[in-house]
A and B are shown apart, each in its own frame.
Chain A
Amino acid sequence: MALLEIKNLYVSYGSIRALHGISFKVEEGEVVTLIGANGAGKTTTLKTISGLLRPDKGQIVYDGVDITRMGADAIVRRGLIHVPEGRRIFAPLTVRENLEMGAFTRKDKHEIEESMERVFTLFPRLKERVEQPGGTLSGGEQQMLAVGRALMAKPRLLLMDEPSMGLAPILVEEIFEIIREINEQGVTILLVEQNAHMAFSVAHRGYVMETGVIQLEGPASELAENPQVREAYLGGG
């Protein structure tokens, strides 16, 4: 059974429909990427999974449980964690407090402290800035904080919305290296990306979305070779 299964999902903003019946699966242990042009509905899909938006129709099954109508906080408690588009760091809170918020649903202080140490080994730069307000970090550091904050929740499935957005190429490499590392530690990842090239390099499988529907799917290596995909998302080459 898949860890996450989306069945025929329809989502609207007011009277404007953004998703027109999409279905896909994420198996435990995989990195699955969801690519598509601006406005295709990728962010909408992730927000609906994590409970920020309510679908008109369709079903979301996570770990065998229907979470379609569940509150966002209950979903987090099940280990389904969403790293939102644009990082959404709590600017007035310190780096430490941001990380603590990531662990909001956890109780054991000792384990939380351990997770924090693990985040600091992954991102030593955050450790140097623990008492600094999150809003004073650079864009790249904020992205590290956003990922670190999500890891504080002990995720089983991580939804990542454009983690490479606005980062210098060297940092993009670094972030993808970390995504791979997180996955190797047993976390399943659903990765939304504009940078299809990098996304295919870490993902096992992928889905291509266009204006609210899924156009193509397949193993990442196959999608990367697909002429249509190359034309639209990999710069023609």
Chain B
Amino acid sequence: MIPSAFDYAAPATVAEALGLLAAAGDDVKLLAGGQSLIPVMKLRLADPAMVIDLGRIGELSGVRDDGDALTIGAMTPHHQIATDPLIAAHVPLLAKAAATVADPQVRHRGTFGGALVHADPAGDLPAPVLAAEATFILAGPDGERRVAAADFFQGYFTTAVDDGEILTHIRVPKYTGWGAHYEKFTRVAQQWSIVAVAAMVRVEGGTIAEARIGLTNMASTPLRATAVEQALAGAPLTRETIAAASAHAAEGTDPASDLNGDAAYRRHLAEVLTKRAVIAAAGL
């Protein structure tokens, strides 16, 4: 478990990091919490010539209130996402999802931005961020650009972040007053999601006014369960309507088959877990 030799730099600012990145050429990796990158390097599945550590860049960490949205630094660790009062008040879905990631050690080192750029289909943060319609703020040699969550996740471990760019912040609209739940299905307590469902619902009286549903590990990227969202919008808040709407959860999905279950099982789980997630989010 020894990685290949590499050069290392720990810049103090995003500008400095961008300079190093530009100078380093192709064979470079950014290091955030290291919880995905370092295992991969130790197994020699990656052997970058240079590693640029973002850990000393203070401006990349923390949660800020920006009026109708929260701006979250890419280097904010999972533990902080799970416990931050602003997130608890305005996007509790993120806190609930972050709390299911791995164990306390990993949650203290692993970062929000790192998990999103890593874009593991089984990762727990992409689907909630997609459901929350967040915006990704990327810094690059030509300045800043913004990418909508719907365009960010492009494939298996692939995102819109280009070579030479750094994800600096994630802007998440506020969902104050919405009910939220992250239903994660695993075989053992500390495991990546076999399937998970991120649900947010706004209930008005006895009706579900709006719903946002994100699916984890149902394709090479996180997915929105749009058919479920549409079926729920305006529906009476009952277990029966939720169950009926959830029957659409697997539509448009393309899950993988592996030791934890084949695609048919995952499609079935998506329906069951969507039902459970929405019921829990709605507080039924």
The finding on whether chains A and B are genuine partners in a shared complex, rather than unrelated, reads no
Q: Which residues of B does A touch, CB under 8 Å? A: none
